[in-house]
């Protein structure tokens, strides 16, 4: 009986090259895809649920932003109604509903708030509109800024 010699089989060069390219692309995308940082009045704000960014805009975790702004957040589990009170302003809305009220006046949101892991995410523009804030989403730096009136961003140049 003759012994047959078994030679190890190596993948083809094309397979190795394709795997290397795919791995490199995945690593690059992974390193570039990080959640946007959230700053309120220049201070970094941490949340267990990071902001959500899409081609249509940025969505921020309501409670974290509200707490940072000194607002009170109330939730009614029976109706699903969320109330945000800051100074003399009261915003009421529900997750999944584009209709809201600001100080009793009806308003239509461009996008409905939604929930992520138990946190209510609202469009950044809602915060600006409801509480007269300056907001900015810098897509290049993946940074969201919420600024109250009179607050100057750290490092900003003084106006002459």
The reported pLDDT for the residue numbered 34 is 63
At 28 the pLDDT is 45
Share of the chain above pLDDT 70, in %: 73
pLDDT > 50? residue 158 = no
The superfamily in CATH containing domain 37-147 is Copper amine oxidase-like, N-terminal domain (3.30.457.10)
Domains of the chain by residue range: 37-147
pLDDT tens digits, 60-103: 999 998 888 888 999 998 988 999 999 899 999 999 999 999 99
Residues 6+ positions from 142 with CB-CB distance below 8 Å: 34, 35, 36, 37, 53
| Mean pLDDT estimate for the chain | 79
- The answer to whether 143 touches 153, Cβ cutoff 8 Å, is no
Task: Write down the pLDDT at residue 7.
Answer: 54
Q: Is 90 exceeded by the pLDDT of residue 24?
A: no
Average pLDDT rounded to a whole number, residues 22-32: 48
Residue 35 pLDDT level (bands cut at 50, 70, 90): confident
Cα–Cα–Cα angle for 113, 114, 116, rounded to 5 degrees: 140
pLDDT, position 6: 59
């Amino acid at each position: 009986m003759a012994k047959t010699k078994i030679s190890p089989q190596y993948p083809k060069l094309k397979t190795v090259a394709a795997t290397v390219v795919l791995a490199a692309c995945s690593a690059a995308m992974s390193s570039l895809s990080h959640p946007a940082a959230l700053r309120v009045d220049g201070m970094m704000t941490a949340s267990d649920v990071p902001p959500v960014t899409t081609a249509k805009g940025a969505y921020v975790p309501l409670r974290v932003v509200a707490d940072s702004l000194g607002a009170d957040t109330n939730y009614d589990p029976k109706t699903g109604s969320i109330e945000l009170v800051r100074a003399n302003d009261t915003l009421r809305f529900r997750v999944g509903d584009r209709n809201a009220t600001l100080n009793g006046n009806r308003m239509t949101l461009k996008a409905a708030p939604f929930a992520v892991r138990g946190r209510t995410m609202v469009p950044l523009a809602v915060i600006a509109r409801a509480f007269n804030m300056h907001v900015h989403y810098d897509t290049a730096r993946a940074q969201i800024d919420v600024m109250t009136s009179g607050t100057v961003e750290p490092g900003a140049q003084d106006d002459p």
